């Protein structure tokens, strides 16, 4: 594929992901919320661990947030997106707000059911895109 076709496609994908992250991050209640009782699966399709400097661990591979988003785009192209994803802290680092925002943005963009282990408790991440109120 020529670079003339690849650049606009990559720019559009990056712009879409950035918009989703901004919309998910606009909600100040990303971490706070009422307790919710949910059916928690026995097995998650994908497990992500947090790492230092806002990075993630996936199956032993260290990924930047952008690399993780690229991986999800690849899974989407292959029609192999996970249905349930768990975000949990690693031994090296706890879950940071920026990582939780990225996770929420990925959830909005790719439509999986997200769970996060926050302060030792399993929490449903209920990220939703904010409707555009500007006219």
Mean pLDDT of 25-54: 71
Are 104 and 97 in contact by the 8 Å Cβ rule? The answer is no
In this predicted model, what pLDDT tens digit does every residue of 106-133 receive, in sequence order?
999 999 999 999 988 998 988 777 777 6
Are 89 and 57 in contact by the 8 Å Cβ rule? The answer is no
The CATH class of 43-129 is alpha beta
17 pLDDT above the threshold of 70: no
Whole-number pLDDT of residue 130: 76
1 pLDDT above the threshold of 90: no
37 pLDDT above the threshold of 90: no
Strands (E), 3-133: 46-50, 56-58, 61-63, 84-88, 113-118, 121-125
Whole-number pLDDT of residue 42: 74
In this predicted model, what pLDDT tens digit does every residue of 59-102 receive, in sequence order?
999 999 999 999 999 999 999 999 999 999 998 889 999 999 99
Mean pLDDT of 32-53: 76
Mean pLDDT of 46-61: 94
Strands (E), the chain: 46-50, 56-58, 61-63, 84-88, 113-118, 121-125
Whole-number pLDDT of residue 117: 93
Mean pLDDT of 10-22: 52
């Amino acid at each position: 594929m020529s670079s003339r076709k690849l650049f606009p496609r990559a720019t559009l994908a990056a712009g879409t992901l950035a918009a989703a992250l901004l919309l998910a991050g606009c909600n100040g209640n990303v971490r706070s919320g009422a307790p919710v009782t949910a059916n928690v699966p026995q097995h998650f399709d994908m497990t992500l661990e947090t790492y230092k400097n806002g990075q993630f661990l996936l199956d032993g591979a260290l990924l930047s947030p952008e690399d993780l988003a690229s991986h999800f785009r690849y899974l989407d192209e292959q029609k192999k997106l996970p249905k349930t994803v768990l975000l949990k802290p690693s031994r090296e680092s706890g879950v940071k707000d920026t990582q939780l925002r990225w996770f929420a943005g990925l959830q909005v963009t790719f439509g999986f059911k997200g769970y996060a282990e926050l302060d030792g408790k399993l929490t449903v991440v209920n990220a939703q895109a904010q409707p555009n109120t500007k006219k």
